[in-house]
Amino acid sequence: MSDKFVFQNAKIKHMESKLITSQAIQRLLECASANDAFRVLLEMGFGSGIPVETNDFDVLFSHEEENAVALLKEFNVSNALDAFLVEYDYLNLKSIFKAHATKTDFSSTLTGLYDINEMKSQVEGVESENLPNEMKEAVNTLIELEKAEKLSPRIIDVTIDKAMYKHILSLVKKSGNLAKRYYVKKIDYLNILSFLRVQKLSLPLEFFVTGFIDGGTLNKEVFVNSFDSVEKFKENTKQTEFREIVEKTAETKDIVALEVAIDNDLLKMFREEFNDLFSIAPIVNYYLTKRTEIKLTKLIVAGIKNHVAPELIRERMREIYA
């Protein structure tokens, strides 16, 4: 058992006391205006140092997201958190390639492990020695598709997502068994979501197959052999850990409810082990909870701005509290 995370996790335990509470969320939901919501978020500790008169939610949420990523980088002992950081690199790569394809400007966002300028150079055809093979292979595939005039925003997303999860599954070996199980389960959930979304929209099987992500416990055949029948899909997943969630959503294809259930279940994986000070569990639990906080408060603010009833907002809220 290693003690290399004990110092970081001790700091995390102190920081956990500053996470927002259910009472604070209720207070935010009761705000009558966007101005009131901005003031309440500042009082909740969001955007520390930002003046009230700024009244810019984009600045506020960007500040919180930057802090969450900075924390991962600061606590990334022995590269154990690389798998979580690299997601930002692939998000940037999507934006870079789409800007390249449409000949528009790219605005940099949060960075993970790799240099944005090197990614831009790779997309423009200049080989970079410092980028991972998974990323370079995805770019080369997209360039060939672009030459053949077979490029689309979805193809860019799908190609880069597949490369990202392949890369993550190699990086997660440094993160411990829990992190590996988290990402394998996340891949399964993404494929389930894609499968039900394709069925709901009556899209062809090929649409699902091209977006299928390898690396989960549910192989492609489980979905392909179930494509013509909801009952088959339920039967083919009955002996898996996804039985309950499939039973609840396969008939209704309520994508919003499914997304909420998935977020809750994935967050719960690290929450159940957040007291293990000898692993990355407390750090990742805090980071994922913080990201969920940001997602949740963005949702509430958007609802307030658009005069959405609080009960409708609650339907999309994730369970960020134990």
Q: What are phi and psi of 272, to 5 degrees?
A: -65, -20
pLDDT, position 47: 78
Domain match, 181 and 159 both: no
**CA-CA-CA-CA torsion for 173, 177, 180, 184, nearest 10 degrees?**
140
Domain match, 126 and 162 both: yes
Domain boundary residue among 158, 174, 190? Answer: 174
**CA-CA-CA-CA torsion for 296, 299, 304, 308, nearest 10 degrees?**
-120
Read off the CATH number of the domain in which 187 is found: 1.20.1690
Domain match, 244 and 153 both: no
Q: Could you tell me which residues come within 8 angstroms of residue 109 by beta carbon, excluding any fewer than 6 positions away?
A: 88, 91, 92, 95
Q: Which domain holds residue 297?
A: 1-80+279-322
Domain match, 43 and 73 both: yes
Cα 140 to Cα 92, 119, 146, 209, 210: the distances in Å are: 16, 12, 10, 21, 17
Domain match, 11 and 70 both: yes
Domain match, 220 and 290 both: no
Domain match, 268 and 284 both: no
| Residue 96 near residue 119, CB atoms below 8 Å | yes
Domain match, 33 and 44 both: yes
Domain boundary residue among 261, 276, 291? Answer: 276
Q: pTM for this one?
A: 0.92
| Residue 278 near residue 6, CB atoms below 8 Å | yes
Domain boundary residue among 154, 174, 194? Answer: 174
Domain match, 48 and 92 both: no
CA distance 148 to 209: 21
Read off the CATH number of the domain in which 9 is found: 1.10.132
Tens of pLDDT along the chain (322 residues) come to: 467 889 999 999 889 888 888 888 889 999 999 999 999 998 888 877 676 667 789 889 998 999 999 999 999 999 999 999 999 999 999 999 999 999 999 877 799 999 999 999 999 999 889 999 999 999 999 999 999 999 999 999 999 999 999 999 999 999 999 999 999 999 999 999 999 999 999 999 999 999 999 999 999 999 999 999 989 999 999 999 999 999 988 888 888 888 888 998 999 999 888 888 889 999 999 999 999 999 999 999 999 999 988 888 887 776 554 3
Domain match, 263 and 220 both: yes
Q: What are phi and psi of 69, to 5 degrees?
A: -70, -40
Cα 172 to Cα 19, 155, 167, 177, 190: the distances in Å are: 27, 26, 9, 8, 18
Query: How many structural domains are present in the chain?
Result: 3
Domain match, 215 and 270 both: yes
Domain match, 230 and 146 both: no
